[in-house]
Chains A and B, each alone.
Chain A
Amino acid sequence: MSDKARGKTAPAAKQAAARKSASKQSAAKQSAAKRTAAKQSAAKPPAEKIAAEHDTRPATVSAQEARRAETSAAVAETPPSTSPPEEDGTPPRPRLAVRKTYKLYLGGAFPRSESGRSYEVTSAQGAFLANAALASRKDARDAVKAARSAFGGWSGATAYNRGQILYRIAEMLEGRRDQFAAEIAAVEGVTQASALAQAEAAIDRWVWYAGWADKISQVRGTVNPVAGPYWNVSSPEPTGVVAVFAPERPSLFGLVSVLAPVIVSGNTAVVAAPGAAALPAITLAEVLATSDLPGGVVNILTGRIAELAPPLAAHLDVNALDLAGVEDPGLAAELERAAAQNLKRVRRPEPEPDWTADPGLDRIVSFLETKTVWHPVGV
């Protein structure tokens, strides 16, 4: 997989850059990501060297390149005040840290919260990491609007096409594996190795769900034996806009485990990523924004579940809720009551979720409707 991905990256990055420049998304973040992508593909060693240097990535890039990668990880506890000494022995130059602003991801763009609020994300040890946007009720409303307008196109796309886009996202995730690992390590306080394992598990989980895009209807659809001159078939269809409350731990793996099964079948999602999980969530949004996923299919809000959940649960244009990240049982019950107003599908939080277990099709099936067609035959 890795070989294939590398071989494809250079033209694909160019394509992505061309597409980006045609679109009107002008967030500075995007252009930064684009520049990085272009640099990476430019710095790629020639094809014959790839095999030899396959797994020794850091060694193949220059010192400057490594420094840039370190900065783009953006979650180093202390900003680098000096750059490392140059190879020729000149003294290190002082350098200002370039910190990343973690904004929301709505309708394919990266706006700040409508409310103008933000909150500090700290590491597990309490050190300041970054400011994240504190989403409000109106951001939730805007997100639902964006998700609704994206639903027609995404659910109408062929299952094969959706699968291809999800694979593409996995390829992009693979390229940012180290950045995700650094963020996970910072926000969860786990070791670098364990963070990297989580990032890889998240990518694998994404690929696993991507494969189901064009298979779920074979598994869940049926031809029903009926006593009459009818050809009777049932097929699964996406339910619509799904509000997903992601768990705070494991940050990236938990988010991927609840998001991928929702969108793979053609639903669009409004995701609330709580607290420190905002960091990997918004970095995931940067991946989504550069992976052919139409804007609005996934909308990511960061902030407090307790604030975002009630308006989303009561919103009449939301079709289903995934309460995975709602830890307060009282709130979960209240949300379920609000959801009853327009008969939303609700997936309750699991008391002791085991994210590493085989997920099965449960989460995909939770957000499907079954359409049954009676077609007259032989008359």
Chain B
Amino acid sequence: MDSVSSTTEAARAPHTEPAPEPGSAPGGPPGRDRAAAGETAVSEEGAPARDLAAALPVPDRPVPDRLDLSAATGSETALRGFLHGLPGVDKVGAEARVARLGTRSIKTTAKSRALELAIRMIDLTTLEGADTAGKVRSLAAKARRPDPSDPSCPAVAAVCVYPDLVEVAKRELRGSGVKVASVATAFPSGRSPLEVKLAETRFAVAAGADEIDMVIDRGAFLAGRYGAVFEQIAAVKAACGGAHLKVILETGELVTYDNVRRASWLAMLAGADFIKTSTGKVSPAATLPVSLVMLEAVRDFRAAGGRMVGMKPAGGIRTAKDAIKYLVVVNETCGPDWLDPDWFRFGASSLLNDLLMQRQKQAAGYYSGPDYVTVD
């Protein structure tokens, strides 16, 4: 597998500058890259990240607009060279940054707007072995009208189900504007032959899914077979047709932030429309530092001349407070372009009830309780 096959041609991102500078080429000395990244992460504190990064005189940092994306996917060797040439993640810096952003105080009208936005960003999810058509119908009803007592409450972004229930969800959500997402490719483990994964994807798309949430082959990724992972994503993307492809990295199994950064770039290079943290079946699921690393990747990918890719943390986000922290991190990392349900989603189910209770509290002035939202 030394050339990434022709099926990936369409997925290749355009590039702006054909010739990378020798010193900044991916695959440069990792030690220097890491030092440069650490320096940047520290100086990013509390300032608009992009401006500061542009102003910094760090010649060795692979400044995004000097990356050559098309060369990266030319062969397995080039792909490995590219991914391992990405600067290492400053773990302490990333964690300190999200901790600091988490202390932002979002109150009154800003809070109301954040709650409203977070509701519109939710992928209301049910992915249990015990799912029934009835449960999907009730979930769809909740997706259309999250707060039945308040017509001004917006609908959620999507409902996320297993492929066999896509048809039910699609029927229930007709005309509502709420999209139907389906997990596919042997969710959650991803341990099936490619043909099976592609067949599952085609089945879900044929049943009407607007979005496909696929899982990457973590085994292949951790074994360093990046080309295999790349080809699978590209093949699934081709099978999706018009449906959006979300690629689940399952960051809980990738272990390190460096791996998360590599997997994010790999998925984006292979044609992902969204990168998603987790299946929700593995602990830890979405965390703020991991999301920060992925958001930086998304930001840098666009800056390097790639497409705009969305990001979706999933699993473990249960309170409105957590959701607002994520929105702050999105705004501070990627900017307001991503503060839109088309580019940022929450994969969650219990989060919605907490958002609704907070919303009721904002309106009424007193605390609400779980008796005043639906049981799910």
Contacts and interface: CB of A to CB of B under 8 A. Distances in A.
A311 B371 contact: no
A311 B367 contact: yes
Interface stretch (A61-69, A182-190, A313-321, A354-362): A313-321
Contacts of A314: 365-367
Contacts of A316: 366-369, 371-372
A292 to B, nearest CB: 27
Contact of A144 (B365, B367, B371, B372): B367
Interface residues of A toward B: which range? 10 to 19
Interface in B359-375: 365-372
Interface string A136-160: 0000010010001000000000000
Nearest to B360: A316
Contacts of B368: 316-317
Interface residues of B toward A: which range? under 10
Contacts of A148: 369-370
Interface in A297-312: 311
Nearest to A313: B366
A345 to B, nearest CB: 15
A76 B308 CA distance: 67
A317 B366 contact: no
Residue of A311, A314, A317, A338 most packed against chain B (CB within 10 A): A317
A296 to B, nearest CB: 15
A25 interface: no
A341 interface: yes
Q: Name A's interface SS.
A: helix
Interface in A314-348: 314-318, 338, 341
A311 to B, nearest CB: 7
Contact of A311 (B366, B369, B370): B366
A70 to B, nearest CB: 42
Contacts of B372: 316
B367 A341 contact: no
Contacts of B367: 141, 144, 311, 314-317
A318 B366 CA distance: 11
A242 B365 CA distance: 21
A43 B338 CA distance: 65
Nearest to A241: B369
A329 B367 CA distance: 24
Interface in A194-214: none
Interface string B233-254: 0000000000000000000000
A233 B285 CA distance: 48
A222 B338 CA distance: 62
Nearest to A341: B366
B56 to A, nearest CB: 37
A314 B361 CA distance: 11
A314 B365 CA distance: 9
A356 B232 CA distance: 77
B319 to A, nearest CB: 10
A317 B369 CA distance: 5
Contacts of B369: 144, 148, 315-318
Residue of A315, A318, A338 most packed against chain B (CB within 10 A): A315
A316 B366 CA distance: 8
Contacts of B370: 148, 317
Interface string B258-288: 0000000000000000000000000000000
B136 to A, nearest CB: 27
Contacts of A318: 369
25 contacts: A141-B367, A144-B367, A144-B369, A148-B369, A148-B370, A311-B366, A311-B367, A314-B365, A314-B366, A314-B367, A315-B366, A315-B367, A315-B369, A316-B366, A316-B367, A316-B369, A316-B371, A316-B372, A317-B367, A317-B368, A317-B370, A317-B371, A318-B369, A338-B366, A341-B366
Interface of A: 141, 144, 148, 311, 314-318, 338, 341
Q: Which 5 A-B pairs have the closest CB atoms?
A: A317-B369, A314-B366, A316-B369, A315-B367, A316-B368
Given A314-B367, A316-B366, 16 more contacts: A141-B367, A144-B367, A144-B369, A148-B369, A148-B370, A314-B365, A315-B366, A316-B369, A316-B371, A316-B372, A317-B367, A317-B369, A317-B370, A317-B371, A318-B369, A341-B366
